[in-house]
Structure 1
């Protein structure tokens, strides 16, 4: 371990782009979330937000309850195992589980899956039977209605996610009869990034109500009830995580009414969270490469683009990022913050307030602990991945970088890939 005093010092030592993850902020977010939830609630951490081994390990270790891993790929499973999680603690989710992935997960010891459809449940059962085991499964439910008015809605419409709630009663015998599986609970995830506590509370109350109805339709008691999440945190701009101080008081009476034994663990209550747990732990440091003016508009070019801070850029979003420099407080002017890639889509912020920047200045983008490198276009143009540093109390605990390893494999006529390519690209932490 080594010490540092400023972000500029870290940038000088390790180069930029550089993600800095503060373990003390991870501790604080985890403590807040557990404190605001009903007593005894389990929290699944969604690895899609940030699978960095040090970050994941921090959410497992330390004081207080550990978060459990929620994964959607064998790559995320490998990250969970590397961080010290037991396979039995893992929840494997996602609408596109392939037979190969399911075989690998079951062979590794994963026994809890979220099933998105009857056929998905059957595929899980086939993988379990091949290993001579039985998989515990949650039925993911796509509610026909919802109450949320903020955030990204995940239900209430035709979607690849979940089983339409209105079909459960008719399909119940089929769900319960799939060889190699036992239906042990429900998985309801209806929204993402709900900034309003009242809206989030209303949606979770709706999930509890729906879960009680579906339990009756299935005719079997639930052992695990995952009511989802939607806990909000800012992304790439100044601001604080949302607070939910009234959540416990609102949810517990509903649970008492609908699931009288939930305090005894029947069912075990669970939620899931990604960005809320890790979002404000991260700061992206990037260096100004050039400043230019084109037809009266100023462009600040930095070495971190959508290949570094893509934030699922395939959705076509341009985020209103905010930056600061040390010392802060400099006057600002309108300019566009752009990356180094040779595409006009490499835009981090268009006509945003920026301080007067010069080549060589290091700027910090706050609240970048979620949806950073692994949600970005890392392979585009073959530029190096950003470094990632985990720090605590002024000490650098670790520094790593994802390395791009290009493997060319002759597949032959019978084994060619679906897109006709002759090779595969793999990424690994190095």
Structure 2
């Protein structure tokens, strides 16, 4: 049931296969959907595999920058060839030790979540004799989209509440070792469609213009308007291509920032799942099949320790996982039996999907879970029960680029 039978035979399951051709196609499609002047950050958290993020960086004039949230992600970005000066360091819990390491290695741009966050950044920058560039992350009081995954408009550890920003500006500007150069917005994730995405970006750009006016930042140098680009997650489906986004963004920016084409401000978007989601396939082996009180359970060697995360949802598990139906006739798919797809762990929470339509299976079979390139091993309960991490196989079409596995070792002080 898998086109990767030769890889399964050589490397076993569970295994992820990432196709770099798909990574590069997603990068090129997203750049094509954005105005030419835009920069694009790749959210390393979505898939920090060095080969994957290296492919996103190697794009000539349209290469991605890196958005990182830890020194571990910084190391992954540096190993993939990213310049530390081109990285954006984000996150609400930046420790002094992390800031010390990041700034010493050359990171200069930080998304700032609060006055005290900026003070921590400034203290380290001052000690190291540099100036850190600050993007004020704004937690807007209002938003455009009413669906999708909201990332703003509520009490949050993320961002400075927009209604308090003006009164905080004198204190923010007084922080030594830092320079406020712009703003960072991230109002939603996984927009339901292109209209919702456009509407949110238009709302964000208008609010950014008002924000810069209100705080007296006459010539902001940088504006990150966030993301929201969608891709199917662990179910069959095609990655969307946004045909109207470029013109809509250009028109809105022309209205609110007449000099944006000259770089005042430089405008950026960011993306995680869109860039890497459809590049990945999870190969899971069927260990056992059982029935319990009228329900069938297909037990896999891949559970929530292998594929357990869905960033931004506030949930541990994906909503549903469905295997790839490529090659199966519609008539045969209609006759597939509904089963629960579960993993091997000793917890009733190890469920990848309920009432999943599956073909006749038996122990030893392998199923493919498509669109699994984002939020896979590193967003899962990787160490739970001490089971080995899945193999990660990077390919370019039919060529195998690398085979690796994450290993954990205890180190004693």
> Of residues 143, 147, 151 in structure 1, which corresponds to 2:144?
147
- Deviation, structure 1 residue 326: 8.1
Distance 1:107 1:184 in 2: 20
Give me the whole-angstrom Cα distance separating, in 2, the residues matched to 1:38 and 1:158.
Answer: 33
Q: Which runs of 5+ in 1 are unaligned?
A: 410-430
Displacement after TM superposition at 1:367 (Å):
0.2
Which residue pairs with 1:361 in the alignment? 365
Q: Aligned partners of 2:239 and 2:147: how far apart in 1? A: 15
Taking the aligned partners of 1:325 and 1:10, their CA distance within structure 2 comes to 19
Displacement of 1:170 in angstroms is 1.4
Distance 1:197 1:326 in 2: 26
Alpha-carbon shift at residue 393 of structure 1 (Å): 2.0
Does 2:398 align with 1:400?
A: no
The equivalent of 2:66 in structure 1 is 69
Q: Distance in 1 between matches of 2:33 and 2:114?
A: 32
Q: Residues 201 and 99 of structure 1: is their aligned pair in 2 closer, same or farther, counting only changes over 3 Å?
A: same
Which of the residues 140, 158, 165 maps onto 1:161? 158
Q: 2:299 aligns to what?
A: 301
Q: 2:14: which partner in 1? A: 17
Deviations 1:280-325 (A, max 9, x none): 0000001101111112211111100000000249724453211137
- Paired with 2:102 and 2:164, the residues of 1 have a C-alpha distance of 29
Provide closer, same or farther for how the CA distance between residues 327 and 232 of structure 1 changes in structure 2, counting only shifts above 3 A: closer
Q: Distance in 2 between matches of 1:216 and 1:236?
A: 43
2:249 matches 1:251: yes
SS in 2 for 1:253: helix
Contact 1:188 1:226 in 2 (8 A): yes
Cα shift at 1:150 = 2.4
Structure 2: 5+ residue runs without aligned partners?
none
Find the residue that maps to 2:407 and give its secondary structure.
strand
What is the aligned counterpart of 1:34 among 31, 34, 38? 31
Are the structure 2 counterparts of residues 63 and 7 from structure 1 closer, same or farther at C-alpha, using a change threshold of 3 Å? Answer: farther
Asked if structure 2 preserves the Cα contact closer than 8 Å seen for 1:116 and 1:162, the reply is yes
2:409 match: secondary structure: strand
> Which of 284, 287, 290 does residue 288 from structure 2 map onto?
290
1:22-421, aligned counterparts within 5 Å? 22-62=19-59, 65-220=62-217, 221-312=219-310, 315-324=315-324, 328-329=328-329, 330=332, 331-409=335-413
- Separation in 1, partners of 2:369, 2:397: 20
1:370-390 CA-to-partner distances (Å, cap 9, x unmatched) read 000000000100000001111
SS state at 1:315 partner: coil
Instruction: Give, in whole Å, the separation in 2 of the partners of 1:183 and 1:130.
Output: 18
Secondary structure of 1:139's aligned partner: strand
**1:423 alignment counterpart:** none
Structure-2 change in CA distance of 1:62 and 1:272 (3 Å): closer
SS at match of 1:403: coil
**Separation in structure 2 between the aligned mates of residue 346 and residue 408 of structure 1, nearest angstrom:** 31
Deviation at 1:6, TM superposition (A): 3.3
Secondary structure of the residue aligned to 1:405 is coil
The answer to whether the 8 Å contact 2:23/2:56 transfers is: yes
* CA distance in 1: counterparts of 2:397 and 2:201, whole angstroms: 36
Bigger mean CA deviation after superposition, 270-279 or 329-338: 329-338
Native 8 Å contact 2:310 2:318 kept in 1: no
Does the 8 A contact of 1:291 with 1:359 survive in 2? yes
User: 1 CA distance for matches of 2:362 and 2:233?
Assistant: 25
Residue 236 of structure 2 contacts residue 324 of structure 2 at CA under 8 Å; is this kept in 1?
A: no
The more displaced of 60-69 and 101-110 is 60-69
> Take 1:82 and 1:316, find their aligned partners in 2: how far apart are those partners?
29
Structure 1 residue ranges (4+ consecutive) displaced by more than 4 angstroms after TM superposition: none
> Offset at 1:160?
0.6
